Chain A
Amino acid sequence: DIVMTQSPDSLAVSLGERVTINCKSSQSLLYTSNNKNNLTWYQQKAGQPPKLLIYWASVRESGVPDRFWGSGSGTDFSLTISSLQAEDLAVYFCQQYDSIPHTFGQGTKLELK
């Protein structure tokens, strides 16, 4: 199985702050035939299912605010929130869908400082 490791596990943040969450995969997620990385980012708020934010490592899902940015390739990826809003306080997960089983990172919880 591909192991997905996120850092940090939790982060105390201030509103308006720039936030970066990292995700490292144990194998490359780059699909060479289309030069895309099979890596997604999800946001989960308490009592709700995860919500898709970013796919192919850097493409925002329709309706996702442009303060959310995904970057990286191969085995190292990041999710950046350019200016944290109150509604962004949640848990964030990365997931690889390059090979079965599709595996998730352990999650990064954003809390207010």
Chain B
Amino acid sequence: QVQLQASGPGLVKPSGTLSLTCAVSGDSISNNHWWSWLRQSPGKGLEWIGQIYHVGSPHYNPSLKSRVIISIDKSKNHFSLNLMSVTAADTAVYFCARASLHGLSLWGQGTLVTVSS
């Protein structure tokens, strides 16, 4: 059974960096999927942050592109999100997900990240 599990600090200070990792179990991160990050907040709904394939360059939401890095670690079978210079507007539940050609077919449970001093 394939599972995704996001982990990382639940509290980040303003102007700091939000760092999350998504561990993939039951599937190889080198298989034919896009590995994605999304977030959900009451004010902004569901927002697609970006995605990465095991080869090539990641794709980012232009609204976040200047602050975000998504990377992949094949040896650990996980992928990561780094969002820099965070503000309260970045407070959200962050999801990692597996995408195929027809959508986001598998999601992790989500992790709440609060930006506050």
Contact = CB atoms under 8 A, between A and B. Distances in A.
A103 B104 CA distance: 12
A50 B95 CA distance: 10
Interface of A: 1, 40, 42, 48-52, 55-56, 59, 61, 93, 95, 97, 100-104, 106-107
Contacts, number: 52
Contacts of A1: 62
Kindly state the interface size class of chain B when it binds its partner: 20 to 34
A100 B104 contact: no
Contact of B104 (A50, A59, A106): A50
Contact of B47 (A52, A97, A100, A104): A104
Q: Is the interface of B mostly helix, strand, loop or mixed?
A: strand
B56 interface: no
B104 A101 contact: no
Q: Is the interface of A mostly helix, strand, loop or mixed?
A: loop
Nearest to B61: A101
Contact of A49 (B95, B102, B103): B95
Given A49-B107, A49-B108, A50-B107, A104 B102 contact: no
B48 A59 contact: no
